[in-house]
């Protein structure tokens, strides 16, 4: 039954199914949320006992739908089946418990009222808590960075650990370090520097990632600035693998090497990555450029993809290959590299301005509509140009290597080793 609910009617061999009836028919011990091991009975029991009326309430009391989100549709159907019309999923969802306002309204007011700091937003929009929470602070920090480039100063304390220390925390408390490799291209000098760093800091695992880069896993937090200093010295900057921003631009070898290559896909990938890096976005953004429709760089499941063809560049977007799998949507055909770069920068700027914090491009596109995005980025050339110019302006403040800053001492307290106490001191 759960398979039918998740995988659809095709799984049960076709035939009409009443989705609500199917949920009602589940037994109480049927598992709804695999991530958190929550069964139907626990959810319906909590709804009835505690008078829960929203998805957020159910998440808070049962943990169902609180991790990967795959079960969210099922949980919503259970709420509908339990409380009927009192559940209105279309009702405005507040950003968090600190406010009654939703993301879009808060963002509109940030601009309309000229609010340029987190305390100003909280005071003017009557936050119910004094300092906000782990949901609203990172979202506000992103909206303020995107809306006031050059004026708002990033608030590190409103970021989660990975973005605060510019590395990804691992299950044993060590970190992973991923230097940028523009368009997946590296060199003997960079590879030697990576090997030297791995030896010098006894880094236990060196792994090639799916995004055509090299991941150094198992780095101690206090070693991070010294590791970055050595990588910086070899010309490498942060790959931002931890960031809600541009991740990789995956490429194939294209016309430089491949018999089938129609354009220089590697060169375009390098150009795009050098132009786009550093920008903060609502969620991570991954690109790929394939040199022909054989699509060796797998561009058709990325946030933004380019398929090179003899006549130019087919730009596609809104793909996903994580929790959800979704092929991209066609955006447009561009005749030149310059036009392709302008279209992609405009698309990313529109996403930066309209996307809700943590909303990937494919979810933003589904919410606002592909037609509306095309109208801004493809059909109205003056709108495209303005979006492009706003993106270029904000990049003037964004392209600073965070590793270099920390090598030079910024936020040194984050990386200081904890003091070691002997037993007598610890007992005091
Ligand atoms: S996508 Fe086309 S050009 Fe690129 S490596 Fe594959 S076959 Fe060659
Ligand atoms: S299956 Fe419920 S959050 Fe992942």
235-277 pLDDT, tens digit per residue, is 999 988 888 999 899 999 999 999 999 999 999 999 999 999 9
Partnered with residue 250 across adjacent β-strands are 288
**Nearest-angstrom CA–CA distance, 149 and 177:** 27
The number of angstroms, rounded, from the C-alpha of 5 to the middle of its chain's C-alpha atoms is 27
pLDDT for residue 90: 67
Check if the beta carbon of residue 153 is closer than 8 Å to that of residue 190: no
The response to whether residue 30 sits with its C-beta less than 6 Å from ligand 1 reads no
Torsion angle defined by CA atoms of residues 156, 151, 130 and 162, in that order, rounded to the nearest 10 degrees: -20
Banded model confidence at residue 9, pLDDT cuts 50, 70, 90: very low
Using most ligand atoms within 8 A of CB, pick from 3, 59, 62, 68 the residue to mutate for ligand 2: 68
Does residue 414 have a pLDDT over 80?
A: no
Q: Which atom of ligand 1 is nearest to the CA of 253?
A: 5
The response to whether residue 290 sits with its C-beta less than 6 Å from ligand 1 reads yes
Which of the pair, 58 or 282, is modelled with greater confidence?
282
Torsion angle defined by CA atoms of residues 102, 108, 112 and 117, in that order, rounded to the nearest 10 degrees: 70
Q: How far is the CA of 334 from the centre of ligand 1 (A)?
A: 19
DSSP code at position 94? P
- 227: tokens are 């590791």
Does residue 308 have a pLDDT over 80?
A: yes
Domain ranges of the chain: 2-86, 103-159, 243-400
pLDDT for residue 196: 97
The ligand placed nearest to the CA atom of residue 76 is 2
Using most ligand atoms within 8 A of CB, pick from 294, 295, 302, 306 the residue to mutate for ligand 1: 294
Q: Do domains 2-86 and 243-400 have the same CATH topology?
A: no
Banded model confidence at residue 427, pLDDT cuts 50, 70, 90: low
Check if the beta carbon of residue 171 is closer than 8 Å to that of residue 217: no
- 205: tokens are 């695992």
Q: Please provide the CATH number assigned to the domain covering 243-400.
A: 3.30.413.10
Backbone angles phi, psi at 136, to 5 degrees: -80, -35
**Nearest-angstrom CA–CA distance, 202 and 199:** 5
Q: How far is the CA of 308 from the centre of ligand 1 (A)?
A: 9
**Nearest-angstrom CA–CA distance, 274 and 178:** 16
Of the candidates 373, 362, 353, 363, which has an alpha carbon nearest to the alpha carbon of residue 279?
Answer: 353
DSSP helix/strand/coil, 327: coil
The response to whether residue 410 sits with its C-beta less than 6 Å from ligand 1 reads no
DSSP helix/strand/coil, 342: helix
Check if the beta carbon of residue 305 is closer than 8 Å to that of residue 251: no
The response to whether residue 291 sits with its C-beta less than 6 Å from ligand 1 reads yes
Backbone angles phi, psi at 135, to 5 degrees: -90, -45
**Nearest-angstrom CA–CA distance, 5 and 11:** 9
Q: How far is the CA of 253 from the centre of ligand 1 (A)?
A: 7
Task: Please give the model's pTM, rounded to 2 decimal places.
Answer: 0.82
Where in 295-419 does DSSP place strands (E)?
304-309, 312-317, 320-321, 325-326, 329-334
Torsion angle defined by CA atoms of residues 280, 282, 284 and 285, in that order, rounded to the nearest 10 degrees: -80
- Report the pocket of ligand 2 as residue ranges, CB < 6 Å: 33-36, 64-71
Check if the beta carbon of residue 231 is closer than 8 Å to that of residue 194: yes
Q: How far is the CA of 97 from the centre of ligand 1 (A)?
A: 50
The response to whether residue 295 sits with its C-beta less than 6 Å from ligand 1 reads yes
110-144 per-position pLDDT tens digit = 999 999 999 999 999 999 999 999 999 999 999 99
Banded model confidence at residue 376, pLDDT cuts 50, 70, 90: very high
Q: How far is the CA of 268 from the centre of ligand 1 (A)?
A: 14
pLDDT for residue 12: 47
pLDDT for residue 425: 57
Of the candidates 118, 124, 127, which has an alpha carbon nearest to the alpha carbon of residue 154?
Answer: 118
DSSP code at position 238? B
DSSP helix/strand/coil, 385: helix
First-to-final CA distance of the chain:
59
The ligand placed nearest to the CA atom of residue 253 is 1
Q: Which atom of ligand 2 is nearest to the CA of 34?
A: 1
Q: How far is the CA of 265 from the centre of ligand 1 (A)?
A: 9
Does residue 109 have a pLDDT over 80?
A: yes
DSSP helix/strand/coil, 428: coil
Banded model confidence at residue 8, pLDDT cuts 50, 70, 90: very low
- Give domain 2-86's CATH number out of 1.10.10.60, 3.40.1180.10, 1.10.10.1100, 3.40.50.970: 1.10.10.1100
Q: Which atom of ligand 2 is nearest to the CA of 72?
A: 2
């Amino acid at each position: 039954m759960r398979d039918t609910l998740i995988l659809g009617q095709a799984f049960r061999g076709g035939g009409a199914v009443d989705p609500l009836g199917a949920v009602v028919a589940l037994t109480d011990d049927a598992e709804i949320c695999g991530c958190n091991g929550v069964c139907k009975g626990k959810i319906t029991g909590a709804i009835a006992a505690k008078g829960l009326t929203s998805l957020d309430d159910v998440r808070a009391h049962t943990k169902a739908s609180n991790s990967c989100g795959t079960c969210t549709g099922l949980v919503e159907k259970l709420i509908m089946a339990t409380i009927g019309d009192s559940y209105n999923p279309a009702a405005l969802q507040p950003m968090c418990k600190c406010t009654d306002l939703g993301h879009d309204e808060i963002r509109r007011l940030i601009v309309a009222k000229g609010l340029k700091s987190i305390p100003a937003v909280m005071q003017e929009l009557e936050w119910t808590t004094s300092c906000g929470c782990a949901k609203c602070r990172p979202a506000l920090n992103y909206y303020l960075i995107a809306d006031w480039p050059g004026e708002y100063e990033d608030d590190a304390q409103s970021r989660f650990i990975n973005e605060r220390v510019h590395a990804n925390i691992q299950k044993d408390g060590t970190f992973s370090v991923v230097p940028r490799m523009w368009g997946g291209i590296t060199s003997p000098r960079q590879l030697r520097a990576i090997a030297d760093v791995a030896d010098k800091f006894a880094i236990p695992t060196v792994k090639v990632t799916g995004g055509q880069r090299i991941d150094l896993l198992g780095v101690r937090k206090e070693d991070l600035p010294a590791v970055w200093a050595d990588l910086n010295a070899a010309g490498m900057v942060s790959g931002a693998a931890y960031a809600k921003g541009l991740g990789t631009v995956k490429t194939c070898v294209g016309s430089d090497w491949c018999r089938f290559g129609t354009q220089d896909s590697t060169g375009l990938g390098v150009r795009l990555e050098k132009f786009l890096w550093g920008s903060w976005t609502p969620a991570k953004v991954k690109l790929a450029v394939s040199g022909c429709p054989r699509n060796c760089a797998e561009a058709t499941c990325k946030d933004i993809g380019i398929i090179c063809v003899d006549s130019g560049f087919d730009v596609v977007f809104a793909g996903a290959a994580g929790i959800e799998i979704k092929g991209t949507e066609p955006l447009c055909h561009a005749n030149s590299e310059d036009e392709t770069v302008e279209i992609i920068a405009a698309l990313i700027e529109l996403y930066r301005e309209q996307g809700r914090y943590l909303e990937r491009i494919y979810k933003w596109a589904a919410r606002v509509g592909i037609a509306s995005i095309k109208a801004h980025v493809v059909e109205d050339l003056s709108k495209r140009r303005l979006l492009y110019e706003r993106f270029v302006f904000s990049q003037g403040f964004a392209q600073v290597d965070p590793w270099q800053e920390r090598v030079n001492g910024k936020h040194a307290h984050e990386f200081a080793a904890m003091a070691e106490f002997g037993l007598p001191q610890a007992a005091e």
